Structures are given as C-alpha cells and as structure tokens.
C-alpha cells in the first residue's frame, strides 16, 4: 500500500501554481511599466527633452519584451497547472486510501517505528516569477520541453481517465455498489436479498 503512494506521486506534473500567480502579477507590472514609460516618453518629447524621451522609450521596449516572456511562461505554466489538477483528480482516491491506511497502521501499532509516507512529486517551483533567459532560443526550447512533458503526461493519464474514485456514503463507509460489500439500499443488495 505504501508503494502505491510513491507510484502515484511519481508521475505527478510539477506544482507551479505559486509561480503562475507570480508570473501573472509580473505581466500586470510589466504592462503598467510599459504604459508609464510610453507616457513619460510622450511628456518628455512634448517638453523637447529628446534624451529623456529616448530613455523612456528604451524602458518601454524592455518592459514589453519582458511582458512577452512572461506571457509565454504563463501559457506553459497554465498547461502544467491543468495537468496537475487532472493528476490530482485521477489519483485522489488511491492517495487518500493510502494515507488512511497509514494512519490506521500507526494507530494500531503505536510501538512500531514506521517511516513516513514518501512523496515522489517533483519539488514545487518557487513562488516568484522566473528570470528571463539571455538567449531567446532558450524560451523556445523551454516551450518545446514543456510540450513533450505534457504529451508524456497525457499518455499516462488517458488509461486512467475511466477510473472512478470510490464515493463516500452517509456514515463514512466507502460505497461499493456491486459485490458482496454493497450497501443495503443498493440495487445489487436488493436483488440478492429477495432470492
């Protein structure tokens, strides 16, 4: 059962929600910086200060380039977040059962030294916007790497899409609608009890 937890967490996509939040904030900031720099350049040019106008135009170009980088990263991270959510939905049942089994084992055998469950999930990205690479080709390489990762993830996810998690019924028991552990109210139990 403990190996199940490790196996289920091993194919998890990276958790990039905090990084995505920081990237979206950076997009707003770079858009505001570009807009402000454009306005400052216009005001400087109206005053006849072409040197200041040139500096502000350079700042606006730089802010737009940084904003473009963050928009590309936003697309990549949004896809990874979508994959993480799909993984979480598909593996929720087995991960939860493993955690519950581990808790029950610890409760019954308090005297045993039991190792904690180990997650094989990749480390979460830091909650800050990434630094843009010096070479624009690196951005394309990163996008291609993310596309391949998502393809590989989808190949692992597709066979599991039809797996439905166990449902909880009133009283906290797991509902197995067919088979010998069916609830008394289930159609399978009613059919067998009338024979």
Distance CA 27, CA 32 (A): 9
Is the pLDDT assigned to residue 162 strictly greater than 50? yes
For the chain, what percent of residues have pLDDT higher than 70? 82
**Average pLDDT value for the chain:** 85
Question: Could you tell me which of 126, 114, 148, 125 has the C-alpha nearest to residue 2?
Answer: 114
Residue 25 is predicted with a pLDDT of 97
Distance CA 183, CA 74 (A): 47
By residue count, the chain amounts to 195
Tell me what the mean pLDDT of segment 21-36 comes to.
97
pTM over 0.85? The answer is no
């Amino acid at each position: 059962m403990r190996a199940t937890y490790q196996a289920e967490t091993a194919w998890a996509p990276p958790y990039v929600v905090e990084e995505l939040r920081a990237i979206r904030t950076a997009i707003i900031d770079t858009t505001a910086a570009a807009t402000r720099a454009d306005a400052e350049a216009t005001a400087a040019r109206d005053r006849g200060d072409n040197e200041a106008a040139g500096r502000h135009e350079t700042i606006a170009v730089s802010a737009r380039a940084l904003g473009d980088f963050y928009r590309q990263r936003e697309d990549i991270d949004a896809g990874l977040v979508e994959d993480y959510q799909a993984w979480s939905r598909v593996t929720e049942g087995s991960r939860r059962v493993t955690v519950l089994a581990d808790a029950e084992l610890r409760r019954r055998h308090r005297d045993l030294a039991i190792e904690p469950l180990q997650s094989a999930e990749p480390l979460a990205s830091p909650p800050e916007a990434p630094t843009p690479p010096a070479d624009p080709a690196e951005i394309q390489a990163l996008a291609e790497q993310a596309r391949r990762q998502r393809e590989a993830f989808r190949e692992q996810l597709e066979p599991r899409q039809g797996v439905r998690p166990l449902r909880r019924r009133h009283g906290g028991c797991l509902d197995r609608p067919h088979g010998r552990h069916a609830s008394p109210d289930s159609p399978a139990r009613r059919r067998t009890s009338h024979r």
